[in-house]
């Protein structure tokens, strides 16, 4: 049976040393986030995830969801009770604005809970996760009337939300959507069509399910330009807020799939269902992107979360499992064998994992801070900077962290040898669950193209310039302290490879777009390493500062510094190789005719 311990100490360190929440105490919501409150939320959130969500992760995976003959769907045993506790504890309300019943706390605090809950039970965490994404879209573009009708119950958790984009013939290319929305005399729309792969599309956790559905109106162009977004509730909502008749939307079937078995992935049939236009007609994609950007950051967190829980279990196992002797002589002479943690190759897998999870945690919490600053920072310049930074890094957080999260989860499974392949240890579940994060919310290849094709050039390259300036600042501060100079020099070299690769893409990607496509994934990974490296320099500096000040837990900071050094020695070197791959261009990649495959 796998275990999970929320990384409370590491999280509090990141919030203090990297996010420096204190600096923003004057901004709305940040004033309430006093150190005591933050510590309480992180600790209690950790306990909830350890004690309520983790124990039903393996059983939920084994039982899965059940669709009944009437089209209703039950989540696995224990999920409804856990969801009720989640709602009662207000865990879904952390980041939501007070006017809809939320606690209005900074995104960084809500993101902590997202990580803990996705480590403890990713399938469970998706139900409230999709709800938060749906709320974000309604908050951003909904009319006051729609906001008042739907948001309070969604924020409370009494109702949950979904996002309905995908259709059988339409995945990445949303222009191919066929679902129709016909205007009705009362101002509503009649929605008809079939959506597939809809996460949390039907279940028994909440009283109502609010579907956000992409569809085309009759006169709209048959392309992305013709897409509108609609709210389609499972139960219609009466003017007084009470639930009305069942709407014309139902779950046709649930998918049998590789992982996240406890989250219902549904085929949703819309048969003249009543829908309400969200935002402007034919501007649906823009509204949906608000939801998807929030969701992409959330999916990046899933990559971190699965890696974290997998590495924790691998470390526990490696300390216990006795096999072979250390290369440098017995470390456990009283027994016939040493624990496998003595073997450098096992250490490699554990240290790769640790260097990734601690760096990724810093990056997602810092990223969450930028989300808030983009709206709440005091000056327009600060707001623009934060928006530029998070826009640039959203595809990296989604794509790089989920690619790496899966890789780290697989390496953690490897630490278990054959036992990692056996279900009862839970490791193969982490690998299966981690896999989907690379696919949904825009497959990682699409994230890489978004980065290279759109984000780099956005506003004349302002985002990348601002980010490189931030990195240069870390390099300068890091190099000024002899104890962090080597790590900072590594970051400087990595940033140099990034700049070289960027220049090459600018020169060769315009002339031949296949060059940009061929190098996009490597570029996303290159920027990912630079981003984690910048976090490691920041964390190393903070650790020295804490040790200099005589911090109580010297072991924690010493371990941080060793992991920082490992990251510098083992991860930065990949940047040069990634640049070489990018500069190889697309010729050999595209040369074979399709029939040759």
Residues that bind ligand FAD (CB under 6 A): 163-166, 171-172, 197-199, 257, 265, 436, 439-440, 442-443, 445-446, 449
Q: How far apart are CA 181 and CA 277, in angstroms?
A: 9
DSSP classification of residue 425: G
Give the alpha-carbon dihedral of 207, 210, 211, 213, to 10 degrees: 160
In the complex, the smallest distance separating the C-beta of residue 510 from ligand FAD, rounded to whole angstroms, is: 17
Sign of CA dihedral 239, 245, 248, 253: positive
Q: How far apart are CA 401 and CA 361, in angstroms?
A: 10
In the complex, the smallest distance separating the C-beta of residue 166 from ligand FAD, rounded to whole angstroms, is: 4
Angle of the 554-570 helix axis to the 344-376 helix axis, nearest 10: 100
Q: How far apart are CA 371 and CA 393, in angstroms?
A: 11
In the complex, the smallest distance separating the C-beta of residue 64 from ligand FAD, rounded to whole angstroms, is: 12
Tokens 């048969």, located at residue: 271
Judged on CB neighbours under 10 Å (0-12, 13-18, 19+), 69 is exposed
Nearer to ligand FAD, 388 or 450 (CB): 450
- Which residue, 463, 495, 467, 456, is CA-closest to 479? 495
Q: How far apart are CA 452 and CA 475, in angstroms?
A: 24
In the complex, the smallest distance separating the C-beta of residue 290 from ligand FAD, rounded to whole angstroms, is: 15
In the complex, the smallest distance separating the C-beta of residue 193 from ligand FAD, rounded to whole angstroms, is: 12
Nearer to ligand FAD, 17 or 443 (CB): 443
How many other C-beta atoms lie within 10 A of the C-beta of residue 586? 17
248-257 burial, b at 16+ Cβ within 10 Å, e below that, comes to bbbbeebeee
Q: Calculate the alpha carbon distances from 251 to 131, 204, 268, 375, 522 in Å.
A: 18, 12, 5, 37, 39
How many other C-beta atoms lie within 10 A of the C-beta of residue 594? 5
- The closest residue (CB) to ligand FAD is 171
Nearer to ligand FAD, 15 or 520 (CB): 520
Q: How far apart are CA 367 and CA 527, in angstroms?
A: 14
Q: Specify whether the CB–CB gap between 215 and 180 falls below 8 A.
A: yes
Nearer to ligand FAD, 260 or 340 (CB): 260
CA end-to-end distance (rounded Å), the chain: 43
In the complex, the smallest distance separating the C-beta of residue 267 from ligand FAD, rounded to whole angstroms, is: 11
Nearer to ligand FAD, 237 or 295 (CB): 295
Q: Specify whether the CB–CB gap between 45 and 105 falls below 8 A.
A: no
Angle of the 35-48 helix axis to the 107-120 helix axis, nearest 10: 20
φ/ψ of 438, rounded to 5, equals -80, -15
Nearer to ligand FAD, 196 or 355 (CB): 196
φ/ψ of 347, rounded to 5, equals -60, -40
- Which residue, 73, 538, 129, is CA-closest to 299? 129
- Which residue, 149, 130, 291, is CA-closest to 206? 130
In the complex, the smallest distance separating the C-beta of residue 169 from ligand FAD, rounded to whole angstroms, is: 9
Q: Is 407 a catalytic residue?
A: no
Sign of CA dihedral 586, 589, 592, 594: negative
Catalytic residue among 441, 492, 587, 595: 441
In the complex, the smallest distance separating the C-beta of residue 257 from ligand FAD, rounded to whole angstroms, is: 5
Q: Specify whether the CB–CB gap between 124 and 264 falls below 8 A.
A: no
In the complex, the smallest distance separating the C-beta of residue 330 from ligand FAD, rounded to whole angstroms, is: 47
CA-only gyration radius of the chain, Å? 24
Nearer to ligand FAD, 21 or 288 (CB): 288
Pairing of β 159-164 and β 208-216: parallel
In the complex, the smallest distance separating the C-beta of residue 63 from ligand FAD, rounded to whole angstroms, is: 17
In the complex, the smallest distance separating the C-beta of residue 255 from ligand FAD, rounded to whole angstroms, is: 7
- Residue 200, SS3? coil
How many other C-beta atoms lie within 10 A of the C-beta of residue 560? 22
Nearer to ligand FAD, 352 or 450 (CB): 450
Judged on CB neighbours under 10 Å (0-12, 13-18, 19+), 145 is exposed
Nearer to ligand FAD, 117 or 164 (CB): 164
Q: What are the residue numbers of the active site? A: 441
């Amino acid at each position: 049976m796998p275990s999970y311990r929320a990384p409370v100490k590491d999280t509090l360190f990141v919030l203090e040393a990297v996010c420096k929440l204190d600096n923003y105490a004057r901004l709305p919501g940040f004033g309430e986030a006093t150190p005591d409150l933050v510590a309480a939320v992180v600790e209690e959130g950790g306990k909830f995830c350890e004690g309520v969500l983790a124990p039903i992760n393996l059983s939920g995976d084994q039982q899965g969801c059940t669709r009944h003959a009437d089209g209703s769907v039950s989540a696995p045993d224990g999920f409804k009770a856990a969801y009720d506790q989640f709602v009662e504890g207000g865990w879904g309300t952390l980041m939501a604005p007070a006017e809809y019943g939320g606690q209005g706390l900074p995104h960084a605090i809500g993101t902590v809970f997202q990580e803990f809950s996705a480590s403890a039970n990713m399938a469970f965490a998706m139900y409230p996760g999709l709800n938060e994404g749906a709320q974000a879209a309604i908050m951003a573009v909904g009319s006051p009337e729609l906001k008042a009708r739907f948001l309070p119950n969604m924020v409370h958790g009494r109702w949950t939300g979904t996002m309905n984009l995908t259709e059988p013939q339409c995945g990445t290319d949303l222009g191919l959507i066929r679902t129709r929305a016909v205007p009705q005399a009362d101002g509503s729309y009649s929605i008809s069509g079939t959506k597939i792969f809809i996460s949390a599309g039907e279940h028994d956790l909440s009283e109502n399910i609010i579907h956000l559905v992409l569809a085309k109106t009759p006169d709209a162009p048959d392309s992305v330009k013709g897409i509108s977004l609609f709210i389609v509730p499972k139960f219609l909502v009466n003017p007084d807020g009470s639930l009305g008749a069942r709407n014309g939307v139902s779950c046709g079937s649930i998918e049998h799939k590789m992982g996240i078995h406890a989250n219902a992935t549904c085929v949703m049939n819309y048969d003249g269902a009543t829908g309400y236009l969200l935002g402007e007609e034919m501007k649906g994609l823009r509204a949906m992107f608000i939801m998807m950007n929030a969701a992409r950051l959330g999916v990046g967190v899933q990559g971190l979360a699965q890696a974290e829980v997998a590495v924790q279990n691998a470390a526990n196992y490696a300390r216990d499992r006795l096999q072979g002797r250390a290369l440098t002589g017995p470390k456990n002479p009283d027994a016939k064998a040493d624990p496998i943690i003595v073997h450098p190759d096992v250490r490699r897998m554990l240290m790769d994992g640790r260097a990734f999870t601690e760096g990724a945690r810093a990056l997602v919490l810092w990223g969450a801070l930028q989300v808030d600053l983009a709206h709440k920072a005091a000056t327009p310049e600060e707001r623009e900077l934060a928006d530029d930074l998070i826009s640039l890094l959203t595809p990296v957080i989604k794509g790089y962290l989920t690619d790496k999260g899966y890789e780290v989860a697989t390496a953690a499974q490897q630490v278990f040898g054959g036992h990692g392949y056996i279900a009862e240890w839970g490791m193969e579940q982490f690998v299966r669950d981690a896999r989907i994060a690379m696919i949904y919310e825009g497959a990682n290849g699409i994230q890489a193209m978004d980065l290279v094709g759109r984000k780099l050039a956005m506003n004349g390259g302002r985002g990348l310039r601002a980010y490189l300036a931030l990195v240069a600042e870390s390099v300068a501060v890091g190099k000024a302290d002899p104890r962090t100079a080597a790590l900072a020099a590594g970051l400087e070299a990595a940033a140099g490879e990034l700049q070289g690769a960027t220049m090459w893409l600018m020169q060769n990607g315009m002339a031949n777009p296949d060059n940009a496509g061929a190098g996009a994934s490597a570029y996303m990974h290159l920027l990912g390493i630079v981003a984690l490296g910048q976090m490691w320099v920041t964390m190393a500096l903070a650790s020295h500062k804490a040790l200099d000040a005589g911090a109580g837990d010297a072991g924690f900071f010493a371990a941080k510094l060793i992991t920082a050094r490992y990251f510098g020695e083992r991860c930065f070197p990949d940047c040069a190789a990634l640049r070489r791959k990018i500069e190889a261009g697309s010729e050999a990649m595209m040369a074979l005719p399709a029939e040759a495959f």
